[in-house]
Amino acid sequence: MADPLSITASVIAILQLTGEVIKCLNDVKDAPEECRQCRKEAASLLTLFYRLDDHLQDGRSNEPWYRVVRSLAVPDGPIDQCKQVLEQLRSKVMIENRAHKLRTMLLWKFSKAEVASILARMEHLKSLVSIALEMDHFVDTLHISNQAIKDDSTFMRDTIPTLQEDLVAVRDVQSLQWDAQKLQKYHTVMDWLSPTDFPAQQHDVITRRQEGTGQWFLNSPEFTDWLQGSGKTLFCPGIPGAGKTMIAAIAIDHLSNVARSENIGVAYIFCNYKSQADQSVNTLLAAILKQLVQTQPVMVEQVIRLYKSHSIKRTRPSLDEIFTALQSACTKYSRVRIVVDALDECTDQEGARSRLLAKLRELQHGSNIRLMVTSRFIPDIEQEFRSALKLEVRASDEDVWRYVAGQIPRLPKCIQRDDEMKSLVQGKIVKAVDGMYMLSYL
């Protein structure tokens, strides 16, 4: 049976491999629907393994829950199978160009049968990991019950640990029988609610972050006041190329890390002018609802009821239905943080952008819901946030310096070997950028 250290190492290896595969799939030229589906499933798998890694870091190897986790890490078990699936995906979308030592992305080369097999295996693996995570909550519940009984009965104190292990074992067998079907239904309902996968976009953006950048934003008085003070809305305008989306991703990453240990809801949307047809007020609010419901299982039943009432008639929920469900979901959290990136790229045809803001503000009434928005300097949008906290997004000299330092290995050897030359390159680029982070990248 695998030991805790080897399990942790295996999970970390899967996280790294999954991130690499998602990046490869993002770069496939003219990606078909099958490729996008594989990328979506890989992103979902990544989220589950991140949660599993968090539990492994916090848990102890003598806990009953580890019996289930160890079963995932046996030779040729679920984790090994997961690695095989990911390597299969990676092998067909990239090759090594030996002449230039560069990775070249290939066209999609999978047949429909191969894709169906890969998706089925990934769904099964997600089910097994979800079972392990669900059992962790089950054992925690039993532990709470144990603590309450301890003061009353020494006999129960000595008996409960054994009972815990027995019940977990029974739960394991039963879960294998019904959880796969339950999870399939869950994913069907979630995809129906919102096919948009903003968490996958968040992962893609944050993996490009140069370590240490954006800290000025998180440490700013405005961001701190938004989190802890009276200001419920933070408006972050910036010129094109200033790095607004990266700052949004850094803020989301920070908020998500805090939310892991507290009852805080975090949701976000990335507006995109290329996707305006698919980013209506209804779809964007549904995407926010989906993210909040996914971390609050008690809310799933309400969404399932919506699904049942509309799927038979092949209709979509109205704006009022989505908003009512969203209001209910927000009440399950002590606090909710919503981040909207690139509001200027949200269509304003028929007042869509204004209606989105109106609904988000209505959501804030009477609830501890904070809203952060990034946008270019658009007069109409600036007017909407005239009374909000404001923090302009600009490429700070420190961030550009860090970014260029991280890219030095890409420069000619004659520069890499010369400290004075490296410093000169960094200084010149920092000066030339003048607040536009994209220029340093170019």
Query: Cβ(369)–Cβ(232) under 8 Å?
Result: yes
Pick the residue with more confidence: 185 or 137?
185
Q: What is the pLDDT of residue 439?
A: 56
pLDDT of residue 437: 52
More confident residue, 282 or 85: 282
Q: Which of 126-140, 163-177, 231-245 has the highest mean pLDDT?
A: 231-245
Does position 172 have pLDDT exceeding 60, yes or no? no
- Look at residue 247 in the predicted model and tell me its pLDDT: 94
pLDDT band for position 147 (cuts 50, 70, 90): very low
Give the angle subtended at the CA of 383 by the CAs of 379 and 388, to the nearest 5°. Answer: 130
d(CA 227, CA 257): 14
| Interatomic CA distance for residues 199 and 82, integer angstroms | 20
CA 257 to chain centre: 11
pLDDT at residue 153, rounded to an integer: 47
Of 133-142, 283-292, 358-367, the range with the lowest mean pLDDT is: 133-142
Q: What is the 3-state secondary structure (H, E, C) of 141-200?
A: HHHHHHHHHHCCCHHHHHHHHHHHHHHHHHHHHHHHHHHHHHHHHHHHHHHHHCCCCHHH
CATH class name, domain 198-214+232-388: alpha beta
Predicted confidence band of residue 65 (pLDDT cuts 50, 70, 90): low
Please write the tens of the pLDDT for every residue from 337-368.
999 999 999 988 888 999 999 999 999 987 78
For residue 136, pLDDT beyond 90: no
With vertex at residue 291, the alpha carbon angle to CA 15 and CA 335, rounded to the nearest 5 degrees, is 110
- Calculate mean pLDDT across residues 226-249: 91
Q: Render the burial of 22-36: b for 16+ CB within 10 Å, e for the rest.
A: bbbbbebeebeebbb
Given this model, what pLDDT does residue 94 score? 57
First to last CA, the chain: 50
Cα-trace Rg, the chain: 24
Residue type, 106: L
- Tell me what the mean pLDDT of segment 231-236 comes to: 94
Q: Where are the domains of the chain?
A: 4-193, 198-214+232-388, 397-441
Which uninterrupted H or E stretch holds 375? strand 369-375
C-alpha–C-alpha distance, residues 364 and 231, integer Å: 11
CB 18 within 8 A of CB 42: yes
Question: How far is CA 137 from its chain centroid?
Answer: 21
CA dist., res. 251 & res. 218, Å (int)? 7
Say if residue 176's pLDDT is above 80: no
Q: Cα dist. 42→176, 198, 329, 438 in Å? A: 22, 13, 26, 29
Tell me the residue type at 105.
M
Contact criterion met (CB below 8 Å) for 200 and 22: yes
Whole-number average pLDDT of the chain: 77
Find the length of the chain.
442
| Among 321, 323, 315, residue whose Cα is nearest residue 288 | 323
Tens digits of residue pLDDT in 82-93: 888 888 877 766
Residue 395, pLDDT > 90, answer: no
